[in-house]
Structure 1
Amino acid sequence: MDKLNFIKNGMSRLPPGFRFQPTDEELVFQYLKCKIFSCQLPASIIPDINVSKYDPWEFPGNCDEQERYFFSSKEAKYRNGNRMNRTTNSGYWKATGSDKKISSSISSNGIAGVRKTLVFYEGKSPNGCRTDWIMHEYRLVSLETSNASNSSQNYVNEIGDWVLCRMSMKKRSIESGDNSNTPRNNSGKRNNVQVDQPRFFDFLSVQNAVPADLIHSSTSSSCSSSNNVVEVSSPNHEETSGYIC
């Protein structure tokens, strides 16, 4: 848990008002490349954590507002394979979409980056429940060009034993048909909240405005009260009669 506390302490080193919001190019060539080749990092605020050892909601920070960054080692899922282990205690990370190539705007020297998008599923594969947790995994690769058969082809080879991960929780928009105000639990899943719909009455209708039993009782009481007659004297001593119900 000391490594997890390092995240919060590392972010607090930034001056007030500054935010750590690097681009994909900066993450690959300024941080991941320096990490793999043991060079000095621009800032020591990205900790070394094996992402598969923790569930996404176990990491500190505000999941709705803050992105979190980690260096994770390439732990093989199988002993004789190159596939990374992406299984956690409560679920697994599943790749989605196509990988994005990241090139350097200065000089790459045959080195590029690859960004893979993963979504966290709670439960066991392949019947897991999709959550709102998103992770971008950055890798460093080398490009080798072959001119065989009069055509150029790039061969990609991964470099190093580290990847850089950027974790966040997806924000749903109202336009997409999902109510963003629906509460979520720690795992990023929407809570099923049942809300009673308001009832509307037509006040122009007598039957809806006043119940029938009340109308009947009110009519009966007014009729019974009208039988009480009281004589009232006016100031001019002229006798008049009035009805007081």
Structure 2
Amino acid sequence: MEKLNFVKNGVSKLPPGFRFQPTDEELVFQYLKCKVFSYPLPASIIPEINVCKYDPWDLPGNCDPQERHFFSPKEAKYRNGNRMNRTTKCGYWKATGSDKRISSSTSTCNGIVGVRKTLIFYEGKSPKGSRTHWVLHEYRLVSVETGAANSSHNYVNEIGDWVLCRLSMKKRSVESDGSGTHHKHRQNTAVQTTRPRLMFDFMMVGKTNSSTSSSCSSSSNIMEVSSNASDHEETSGYAHF
């Protein structure tokens, strides 16, 4: 089967009516693991880009869908250290909360698990930056080895040179004009929340125009759907609405 490629010029492009909504487990074991071990990916849907080379509002893609995914290479902050560089031109990413461990529900994966770290973007210089509403989930692949027989501790080692990032923005950034939120953030998010979603009407394809009445001639194959459309139909990371 030919591998599907939905990335063009560094931006993911899905067919009309489809969205990319993978679970944490799918992101780790279907995409990140395949990327790290050079296995074939289910589909070429996640572009490669160094996330910390850009401010979040300058990353490729648009706000529809709201979440964006990227494979980002690990870049050490210091030459002789493992701490990742998370500084951008206008600010920095700061970790918040505790890391979440992600295990596979289908197999043990030979002691391989995923770790999800949550980061918040701050504008300005550390440590006095202004908190924004940009959120980054960073997924990493790690190996877990049990210690000695009389020890219950696990030893964790990171695997590979890639992380998988999921970028999003908190919805309350539209309702608040507080400081620390870039004007581009508010403008782009406001456009997204007021613009109705569009879906392609596949049932219209193939019909001839001979029987089209004048009342239908002004309509197109694009119809508006409510912004409250159901998101329940999901199969392996793809949702059709």
* TM-score, scaled to structure 2: 0.68
Q: Deviations over 1:60-104 (max 9, x none)?
A: 334475111000111000001000000000000000000000000
Q: Which amino acid aligns with 1:127?
A: K
Residue 45 of structure 2 is matched in structure 1 by 45
How far apart are the structure 1 equivalents of 2:162 and 2:61?
23
Mapping of residues 1-245 of structure 1, within 5 Å? 6-8=9-11, 10-11=12-13, 14-63=14-63, 65-107=65-107, 108-148=109-149, 150-172=150-172, 180=175, 182=177, 185-187=183-185
Task: With the length of structure 1 as denominator, give the TM-score of the two structures.
Answer: 0.67
Q: Is the 8 A contact 1:169 1:188 kept in 2?
A: no
In structure 1, distance between residues paired with 2:76 and 2:167: 20
> Which AA in structure 2 matches 1:186?
K
User: Residues 181, 84 of structure 1: CA spacing in aligned structure 2 closer, same or farther, 3 A cutoff?
Assistant: closer
Tell me the distance in 1 between the aligned counterparts of 2:186 and 2:122: 10
Distance 1:26 1:37, change over 3 A: same
The list of structure 1 runs, each at least 4 consecutive aligned residues, that deviate by more than 3 angstroms after superposition, is: 60-65, 181-184
- The one-character-per-residue Cα deviations of 1:30-79 (angstroms, maximum 9, x if unpaired) are 00000000011011011110011100000233447511100011100000
Q: Percent identity?
A: 74
- Contact in 2 for aligned 1:132/1:188 (Cα 8 Å): no
C-alpha displacement of 1:182: 4.7
| Structure-1 separation of matches of 2:75 and 2:47 | 17
Matched position secondary structure for 2:9: helix
| Cα deviation, residue 6, structure 1 | 2.7
- The separation in 1 between residues aligned to 2:174 and 2:160, in whole angstroms, is 42
Q: How far does the alpha carbon of each residue in 1:103-144 deviate from its partner, in whole angstroms, 9 at most, with x for none?
A: 000112100000000000000000101000000000000000
CA distance in 2, matches of 1:60, 1:75: 20
Q: Which runs of 5+ in 2 are unaligned?
A: 1-6, 188-241
The structure with the greater share of residues assigned to strand is 2
Instruction: Give the count of matched residue pairs.
Output: 177
Q: CA deviation at 1:16?
A: 2.2
Amino acid of the structure 2 residue aligned with 1:132: H
Compute the RMSD of aligned alpha carbons.
Answer: 2.2
CA distance in 2, matches of 1:39, 1:6: 23
Give the whole-Å Cα distance in 2 for the aligned partners of 1:179 and 1:137: 24
**C-alpha contact (below 8 Å) 1:47/1:71 kept by paired residues:** yes
SS state at 1:141 partner: strand
Q: Determine which structure has greater relative contact order: mean sequence separation of CA pairs < 8 Å that are 6+ residues apart, divided by chain length.
A: 2
8 A contact 1:63–1:169 mirrored in 2: no
Secondary structure of 1:186's match?
Answer: helix
Q: Give the Å deviation of 1:186.
A: 1.7
Query: Residues 65 and 41 of structure 1: is their aligned pair in 2 closer, same or farther, counting only changes over 3 Å?
Result: closer
Which has more radius of gyration? 1
